[in-house]
């Protein structure tokens, strides 16, 4: 199950700042990074980290007509 949210343009710009161009990403809140002295990791790529369990969140960004979600919606219309 997935919740569908329509994102305003200005919010989408903020999301794209962090999510676009990446297949997998680890987001760390700034205060948490400061508390754990890991600010230096910002923007780095870690080739060794692998999600050992389920990710905290799955996100699909529907931004083209052939996106899997659009295909799903179109198939629902046909039934």
Q: How far is CA 54 from CA 14, 43, 50, in A?
A: 25, 23, 10
* Residue 22 confidence (pLDDT) above 80: yes
Per the CB < 8 A criterion, the answer to whether 36 and 29 are in contact is no
pTM of the predicted protein model: 0.73
- Confidence band of 42 (pLDDT split at 50, 70, 90): very high
Could you tell me the residue ranges of all domains in the chain? Answer: 7-43
User: How would residue 5 be classed by pLDDT, with cut points 50, 70 and 90?
Assistant: very high
User: Is it the case that residue 64 has pLDDT exceeding 90?
Assistant: yes
The residue-averaged pLDDT of 17-39 equals 93
């Amino acid at each position: 199950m997935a919740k569908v949210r329509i994102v305003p343009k200005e919010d989408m710009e903020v999301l794209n700042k962090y999510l676009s161009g990446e297949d997998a990403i680890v987001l760390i809140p700034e205060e948490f990074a400061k508390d754990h002295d890991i600010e230096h990791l910002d923007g780095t790529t870690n080739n060794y980290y692998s999600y050992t369990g389920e990710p905290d969140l799955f996100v699909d960004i529907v931004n083209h007509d052939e996106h899997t979600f659009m295909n799903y919606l179109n198939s629902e219309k046909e039934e």
